[in-house]
Each structure stands twice: as C-alpha cells, then as structure tokens.
Amino acid sequence: MWSDAEAPGLDEIETLAIAARDSLPESYARAAQGVGLRVEDFAPEHILEEVGAPDPFSLTGLYDGVPLTEKSVMDQPTGPDTIWLFRRAILDEWADRGNVTLGDLVAHVFVHELAHHFGWSDERIAEIGRWWDYD
C-alpha cells in the first residue's frame, strides 16, 4: 500500500506555506508578500552554526532579515527579508507528533517566522501560542 508513496517535496511544502500566507488577515498578508520564501531540505551549515542548532533536524524554519521594528529609511538593504522552511526537519516533527496535519505544521512554522519579521521575540510568540504544548 505505501510502497509507492513519496514524502512531500520542496514544492508541496512551498505550496502549503503560500496557502498559509494567503489565509492571513489582510494587514498581515500584505506585509508577508514582501518577504521572500525559501524551502530547502535542511538548513545550510553556516545557518546551523549561527543559531547554535545542534543538528539539521532541530531547525524547522528561520527568519533571515531585519525586523520591521528595527528598519530605518537610512538603512542600506543587504538583501531581501526571507523566511526559510526546512522540509526534512518539518517532516520529522510532523511524523513525531502524529496529531497535526502537515498543512497546519507548515502554517505554524511559517507564521512563527513571519512574527519575527514583525519584530516579535520567541518569548512573545510563546505567550500567544504554545504550539509545542498542543496535544
């Protein structure tokens, strides 16, 4: 039955993230349109080192940019703000949980990283929704 099944690929994860972005309230969706989206199997080694991640499966997503709360018209752009999603780590967490749809997990990771774009800290995000406590 499962012998010909394949894990969702990079394109499917991207499609789920875009669907999450498109379902945001208008004010957030408009701002999210200006943030790039990049889906890779794993975080590159330099990113894992920068964030102190112990292994590639421990990082499901990352916001790479300057939060809106820290931007200035005097800043010189260094590159586009980007949300990275890491497919293999997301699939690993999805399989471990067993109690959430893949679409919901991708949406959660995407929105978490988008919250960093808006200048929210991990602590502030945790106050709003303690995703890891959900059963």
Q: Where are the domains of the chain?
A: 10-67+79-130
Query: What's the pLDDT tens digit per position in 22-79?
Result: 998 888 888 888 899 999 999 999 999 999 999 999 999 999 988 877 777 676 767 7
The region of weakest confidence among 36-40, 111-115, 120-124 is 120-124
75 against 106, higher pLDDT:
106
Count of beta carbons in the 10 Å neighbourhood of residue 15: 15
Kindly report the pTM of this predicted structure: 0.85
Distance of CA 132 to the CA centre of its chain: 15
Annotate the chain with three-state secondary structure.
CCCCCCCCCHHHHHHHHHHHHHCCCHHHHHHHCCCEEEEECCCCHHHHHHHCCCCHHHCCEEEECCCHHHCCCCCCCCCCCEEEEEHHHHHHHHHHHCCCCHHHHHHHHHHHHHHHHCCCCHHHHHHHCCHHHCC
CATH T-level fold of 10-67+79-130 = Zincin-like (3.30.2010)
